[in-house]
Structure 1
Amino acid sequence: MQMRIEAVDLPGRTCGAAPDFPGYDNIHVAVQRRDRRDELLDPHPGDAASATWTLDCTATATDAGIDIRGPYIQGRPGARFVYLSWGTMDEAGTFTMFRRAKLMLDAIAPATVTAAMSSGRLLARLRLTDGRGQPLCAQVRPPHIEWSAAPQPRGVDTATP
């Protein structure tokens, strides 16, 4: 199965200082790999019109429900999530993280996960700017994210070896 994250309304490449936010320049956002804080999938600049990531994962039925796992899925069963890492990018391309958002997988309706297992794709849609105009952070659950099952694009094999 694949998980596709589609994000819009990014906060900008520069976010000014606020009482609890020091402000940053050359902001980027990426998906963080499990247990590898510095390994990021496809960083997007904070002023991009949108950002999209596609993650390979598996969904397995267990006694406790459906467990979603993969190289970019963090946490333990029942508390899994995907990290969107916010950071600055220097001229050498070095990413320095300053904030993260946790896309909480336990907030997905079981029927949606079951449908995604059949269709081959779980789709997440969200805005990446919070109510103060800053990069979205903390735990992200509905209504701030919309989860759905989507058909797999043509020519994509969903079989797991």
Structure 2
Amino acid sequence: MRIRIDAVDLPGLTRPATADGRVPAYDKIHVAVQRRDRPAELLDPQPGDAPSATWTLECTTSASPNGIEIKGPYIQDRLGRRFIYLSWGTVDESGTFTMFRRAKLMLDVIPADVLAAAARDGLLIGRLGLTDAQGGPLCARVEPPHITWTTARAEPASADGTV
């Protein structure tokens, strides 16, 4: 199965410091999917001012007593809760990404019928906006209604692995 994350409404490349000083200013903001247990390994960083961002993750599914389990290199598993990390960071002149926040796209809240259809049809799609209510990068746990999960029939991969 594949998971495709379709993101819109990115917050921009800069974030001013908050008036109370709790949040510092950030410049050259980017967002990417973080590999499981490897915070420095990021999938396709996108600039914070992009009109949209899309990531496609390869994963596997299996039946368990608790329903469909999803596993893969970008699927986090903490205390039995599965999720995808979107890491927010700044990119310096040398191209180094320094994370400052993360969003957790929670997978265990996907309705069982949607997850079963995705496992059968091959594609689970999560659609969300990436700007929070204060105009900054969306962070913390992300669950419906802030993300919408749907399914589609996956296109077969070509010989070189592309879709």
TM-score band (shorter)? Answer: over 0.9
Name the aligned partner's letter for residue 16 of structure 1. Answer: P
Letter in 2 for 1:128: L
Q: Deviations over 1:67-90 (max 9, x none)?
A: 100000001474000000000001
1:118-129 paired onto structure 2 within 5 Å = 118-129=120-131
SS in 2 for 1:97: strand
What TM-score do you get using the length of structure 1 for normalisation?
Answer: 0.93
Structure 2 equivalent of residue 132 of structure 1: 134
Q: CA-to-partner distance for each residue in 1:38-91, whole Å, 9 max, x for gaps?
A: 000000000000010000001111011111000000014740000000000011
**Quick one: distance in 2 between partners of 1:122 and 1:63?**
21
When the two chains are superposed, the root-mean-square deviation of aligned CA atoms in Å is 1.2
TM-score where L is the length of structure 2 = 0.92
TM superposition shift of 1:151: 1.7
Q: Which moved more, 1:14-23 or 1:45-54?
A: 14-23
- Determine which structure has the larger strand proportion and give its number: 2
Detail structure 1 runs of 4+ shifted over 3 Å in the superposition. none
- Tell me the SS of whatever aligns to 2:119: helix
Q: Which runs of 5+ in 1 are unaligned?
A: none
Between the two proteins, the alignment pairs up a number of residues equal to 156
Whether the aligned pair in 2 keeps the contact of 1:67 and 1:78 (CA below 8 Å) is no
Distance 1:130 1:11 in 2: 8
Q: Which residue type is aligned with residue 100 of structure 2? A: F
Share of identical aligned residues, percent? Answer: 63
Name the SS of the counterpart of 1:116 in structure 2.
helix
Aligned to 1:131, what secondary structure does the other structure show? coil
What per-residue deviation string (whole Å, max 9, x for no partner) do you get for residues 14-49 of structure 1? 111113321200000000000101000000000000
In 1, distance between residues paired with 2:60 and 2:67?
13
Partner of 1:104: 106
Q: What residue in structure 1 maps to residue 157 of structure 2?
A: 156
Amino acid at match of 1:82: I
**Gaps in structure 2 of 5+ consecutive residues:** 159-163
Equivalent pair of 1:27/1:46 in contact (CA under 8 Å): yes
Q: Determine which of 66, 69, 83 is the counterpart of 1:67.
A: 69
Structure 1 position 11 matched with structure 2 position 11 = yes
CA distance in 2, matches of 1:34, 1:79: 13
- Compared with structure 1, are the counterparts of its residues 78 and 150 closer, same or farther at alpha carbon in structure 2 (3 Å cutoff)? farther
